Amino acid sequence: MSDTTSRPLFYTVREAAKVLRVDANTIYREIRENAFPAVKIRTRYIVPAKAIEALASGATETGGVLDVAAMVQQRQVERELAQRWR
């Protein structure tokens, strides 16, 4: 069985919350605040599996606590800089 058939490309918000062991409302709030990656299809959100994997690998690579708030702030700064240079 190949990797693409055994692992989903996307999770529902509830599935992502279960994997991360948080409440689904936490994920929804972070998505609405543009602090968590998601794809919106009409009124539904789906979460890329790679985003969850990146969180896990980031924490593993640093050997410490991964500060999602700092990551969000960095993303916002990068977006602002990119828009200025357009």
- For residue 19, the model assigns a pLDDT of 93
CATH number at residue 65: 1.10.1660
Other Cβ atoms less than 10 A from the Cβ of 8: the count is: 13
- For residue 3, the model assigns a pLDDT of 55
- For residue 71, the model assigns a pLDDT of 76
pLDDT-flagged residues of the chain (< 70): 1-5
- Report how many domains make up the chain: 1
pTM for the whole structure: 0.72
Domain residues for the domain of 66 are 3-84
| Cα-based distances in Å from 11 to 44, 75, 84 | 11, 22, 33
- For residue 1, the model assigns a pLDDT of 46
- For residue 42, the model assigns a pLDDT of 95
- For residue 47, the model assigns a pLDDT of 95
